[in-house]
Structure 1
Amino acid sequence: MIQSLSHATIYVNDQDAAKEFYVNKLGFEVRTDVTMEGFRWLTVGPKDQKDLEIVLMEPSPGMLDADTVAQIKALIAKGALGAGVFHTPDCRATYAELKARGVEFMTEPTERPYGIEATFKDDSGNWFSLTQPRQG
């Protein structure tokens, strides 16, 4: 029986730039940063959620064929691959803090049926929802 999700992959244009974004702008911590068998295994995660690692993967030949790498890079450029939902206890305060750190928001905090949500992009164009779940 499956018990939990430990890793999720996000494709990025540049692992160093992604590391900078997720650590310095979102406040995540680096969990792993090693080179293995010709590719870099870079993971980050929220400081208070030790059981989840986000793999920041740069598509590269050797891992994938050249056509697939080109297709993934084209989708990254369009912002078509990213999606995720981060929870926060105070969406408006977190929005203000992240915006001050230079995070590019696509929407401001907005009341939704499920809570308060704002959306933002990382430096590769991956987009995420920042949500404050509705209480009760």
Structure 2
Amino acid sequence: MKQSIIHIALVIRNYDEAIDFYTNKLNFTLIEDTYQPEQNKRWVVIAPPNSTGTTILLARASKPEQERFIGNQTGGRVFLFLNSDDFWRDYYEMTSKGIEFVREPKKADYGTVAVFKDLYGNLWDLLELNPGHPLAGRVE
């Protein structure tokens, strides 16, 4: 049996501002943006550049109880992990584009890591796994 996680839903306030942030600040690729008139919403899928793994579904909050979770989907914990093949290249590019890092880069047992915020305040790890790490060959 083979299974995989294809999408992770990220609750957002506005489709266009989220697309702008992820494509222009983080260089993500817009894979799909399809209007669904029967539900008055859009199916918006993005992914990191050259990624063939899990994608992010940008899901606009449609109820007040969903709006409360924009920017805090995991109660203040790091939510998503963006693996890089060149940590310092991406770190410097992101800082030059105004991305806010809330934890400075550090070397850890598993690799180099720093924590940044997306446009809504969700926390992300930018990381580059060390060669030989059990996931290093599996992450694309």
Deviation, structure 1 residue 35: 1.1
Correspondences of 1:32-47 after superposition (within 5 Å): 32-36=32-36, 37=38, 38-47=40-49
State the Cα deviation string for residues 64-83 of structure 1 (Å, max 9, x = none). Answer: xxxxx22221222xx32151
Task: Report the TM-score, using the length of structure 1 for normalisation.
Answer: 0.84
Q: TM-score, normalised by structure 2?
A: 0.81
Report runs of 4+ in structure 1 exceeding 4 Å deviation.
none
C-alpha distance in 1, partners of 2:106/2:129?
12
The answer for unaligned runs of 5 or more in structure 1 is 61-68
- Give the fraction of aligned pairs with identical amino acids, expressed as a percent: 32
Separation in structure 1 between the aligned mates of residue 115 and residue 65 of structure 2, nearest angstrom: 25
Checking the alignment, whether the CA contact within 8 Å between 1:91 and 1:118 is kept in structure 2 is no
Query: Where in structure 2 are the equivalents of 1:1-136 lying within 5 Å?
Result: 1-36=1-36, 37=38, 38-60=40-62, 69-76=63-70, 79-81=71-73, 83-136=79-132
CA distance in 1, matches of 2:83, 2:30: 19
Deviations 1:16-39 (A, max 9, x none): 111011100111111111111221
**Structure with greater helix percent:** 1
Query: Counterpart of 2:65 in structure 1: which amino acid?
Result: Q
The one-letter code sitting in structure 2 at the alignment partner of 1:86 is L
Backbone CA RMSD of aligned residues:
1.6
